[in-house]
């Protein structure tokens, strides 16, 4: 369900997925891009929103060029004011899913939803309970269920995880995406976020991606081209290999990280390494992750040099 610009799908029907990013990372635009794909293909989309209301969301869809009549017919917005696990709210949701048979179901605001249901986002048992209560239920309707979530504030400790319990990722039977903003979004400018795969249980998406640092795979870029306040275009474009390679590695920065560890003579934290190497922090992090993957640096922090890395020289 949903489409990359080259036609590759984004989500598996009948499976649960997550899309996580920092604030303004583009996860809602990513979900709306897939929403437009499904609506324009003649399908229905259910959007369960625990964070906002219909006005701003529909406004974004109209800004992206959505047809008003198709939105009225095929876009079904739900803003729960109470728990939906039981009672009349649960019954109403069941009727909606049965009536429209959506191909895509977006769940926006996982942390807020769990809190509303009296569940702790940091607790694995509560995360499992919520997964059965709502995401799994949406997927059982046949739709690709996509939960929008936040990543942890600490980039160093984030890894592949959204904020909260590890069970959120472990319980998925579809794919998990992490969005990393590279160019800010805004009116009149073109914003861009990298779309990376953190998990792909069915295994059909990674073959369309390039290897990235930290155990992730670079699936593409979310590009939002804003012309003015009333018009914007959005698409998910495929990744472009650099220098004909299937994998981009910041080899020059990797050499600098190796040199800094060697000259320092003792283990260093990622924060200290960023200061020692200089430049863009995210690139230093990627370089460090590749060194860890290739066996040059210890995974445990503070990091220690196992063997020197020299740019252009194979291990």
What percent of the chain has pLDDT above 90? 54
Question: Among the three residues 195, 211, 237, which one is the final residue of a domain in this structure?
Answer: 237
264 and 232 share one domain = no
The mean of the pLDDT values for the chain is: 87
Q: Which CATH number covers residue 172?
A: 3.40.50.300
**158 — pLDDT class (breaks 50, 70, 90):** very low
* Residue 78 within a domain: yes
Q: Same structural domain for residues 171 and 279?
A: no
Same-domain pairing of 111 and 170: yes
Task: Pick 2 or 170 by higher pLDDT.
Answer: 2
Query: Is 146 part of a structural domain of the chain?
Result: yes
Residues 218 and 272 in one domain: no
18-32, 98-112, 156-170, 261-275: least confidently modelled range: 156-170
Query: In this structure, is residue 300 part of a structural domain?
Result: no
Residue 92 shares a structural domain with residue 223:
yes
- Give mean pLDDT, residues 110-130: 87
| pLDDT the model gives residue 173 | 92
CA distances from 75 to 45, 51, 210, 304 (A): 5, 18, 33, 53
**Is the model's pLDDT at 294 over the cut of 50?**
yes
* Claim to verify: residue 71 and residue 160 sit in the same structural domain: yes
CB 282 within 8 A of CB 248: no
In angstroms, the Cα distances linking 220 to 44, 212, 313 are: 25, 11, 29
Same domain for 27 and 157? yes
Quick one: 147 and 187 in the same domain? yes
Among 92, 168, 157, 64, CA closest to 124: 168
Q: Is residue 312 part of a domain?
A: no
Tell me how many helices (H) and strands (E) the chain has: 12, 10
- Per-residue CA distances from 134 to 44, 55, 93, 198, 220 (Å): 18, 24, 10, 22, 29
Full residue range of the structural domain in which residue 257 is found: 251-293
The whole-angstrom separation of Cα 152 and Cα 216 is 16
Reported as a pLDDT band with limits 50, 70 and 90, residue 167 is low
56 and 155 within one domain: yes
**Tens digits of residue pLDDT in 59-106:** 999 999 999 999 999 999 999 888 887 788 889 999 999 999 999 999
Report pLDDT for 289.
87
**Domain-located, residue 311:** no
Residue 242, domain member (yes or no): no
pLDDT at 174: 95
The residues, ordered by sequence, that sit 6+ positions from 208 with a Cβ below 8 Å of its Cβ are 4, 8, 219, 238
Q: What is the pLDDT of residues 233-289, one digit of tens each?
A: 999 998 876 544 555 677 888 999 999 999 988 899 988 998 899 877 778 888 898
Q: Where are the alpha helices (DSSP H) in the chain?
A: 27-40, 54-63, 68-74, 87-100, 110-116, 124-133, 135-140, 155-158, 167-170, 251-264, 270-277, 281-293
Q: What's this model's pTM, rounded to 2 decimal places?
A: 0.74
Same-domain check for residues 99 and 141: yes
Question: Can you give 80-136 as a three-state secondary structure string?
Answer: CCCCCCCHHHHHHHHHHHHHHCCCEEEEECHHHHHHHCCCCCCCHHHHHHHHHHCHH
Token pair, residue 313, equals 């020289």
The whole-number average pLDDT for the span 5-33 is 93
| Residue 239: per-residue pLDDT | 86
Q: 309 lies in a domain?
A: no
Mean pLDDT check: name the lowest of 111-120, 136-145, 148-157, 190-199. 148-157
Question: What pLDDT sits at residue 157?
Answer: 43
DSSP at 23: T
Strands 217-228 vs 190-200: parallel, antiparallel or unpaired: antiparallel
Q: How far is CA 283 from CA 150, 158, 270, 274, in A?
A: 22, 15, 12, 9
221 & 274 share domain:
no
Q: Is residue 91 one of the residues assigned to a domain?
A: yes
User: How far, CA to CA in Å, does 256 sit from each of 266, 278, 293?
Assistant: 16, 9, 17
Model confidence pLDDT, tens digit, residues 186-225? 999 999 999 999 999 999 999 899 888 778 899 999 999 9
Question: At 299, phi and psi to the nearest 5?
Answer: -75, -35
Question: How many domains does the chain contain in total?
Answer: 2
Q: So what's the pLDDT on residue 314?
A: 47
The pLDDT value recorded for residue 169 is 63
């Amino acid at each position: 369900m949903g489409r990359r610009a080259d036609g590759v799908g984004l989500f598996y029907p009948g499976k649960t997925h997550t899309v996580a990013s920092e604030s303004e990372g583009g996860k809602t635009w990513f979900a709306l891009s897939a929403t437009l794909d499904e609506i324009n293909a003649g399908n229905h989309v259910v959007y369960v929103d625990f964070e906002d209301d219909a006005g701003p969301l529909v406004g974004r869809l109209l800004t992206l060029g959505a047809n008003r009549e198709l939105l009225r017919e095929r876009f079904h917005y739900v803003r729960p004011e109470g728990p939906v696990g039981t009672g009349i709210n649960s019954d109403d949701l069941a009727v909606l899913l049965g009536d429209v048979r959506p191909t895509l179901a977006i769940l926006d605001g996982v942390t807020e939803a769990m809190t509303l249901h009296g569940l702790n986002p940091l607790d694995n048992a509560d995360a499992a309970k919520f997964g059965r209560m709502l995401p799994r239920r949406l997927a059982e309707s046949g739709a690709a269920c996509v939960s929008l979530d936040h990543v942890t504030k600490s980039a160093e400790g984030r890894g592949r995880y959204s904020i909260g319990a590890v069970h959120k990722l472990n319980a998925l039977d579809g794919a998990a995406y992490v969005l990393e903003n590279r160019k800010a979004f805004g009116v009149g400018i073109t914003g861009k976020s990298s779309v990376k795969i953190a998990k792909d249980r069915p295994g059909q998406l990674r073959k369309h991606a390039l290897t990235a640092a930290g155990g992730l795979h670079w699936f593409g870029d979310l590009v939002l081209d804003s012309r003015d306040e009333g018009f914007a275009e959005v698409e998910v474009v495929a990744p472009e290999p650099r220098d004909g390679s299937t994998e981009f590695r910041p080899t020059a920065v990797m050499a600098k990280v190796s040199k800094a560890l060697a000259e320092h003579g003792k283990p260093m934290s990622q924060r200290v390494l960023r200061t020692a190497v200089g430049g863009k922090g995210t690139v230093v992090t990627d370089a460090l992750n590749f060194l860890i993957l290739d066996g040059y640096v210890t995974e445990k922090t503070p990091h220690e040099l196992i063997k020197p890395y020299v740019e252009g020289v194979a291990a």
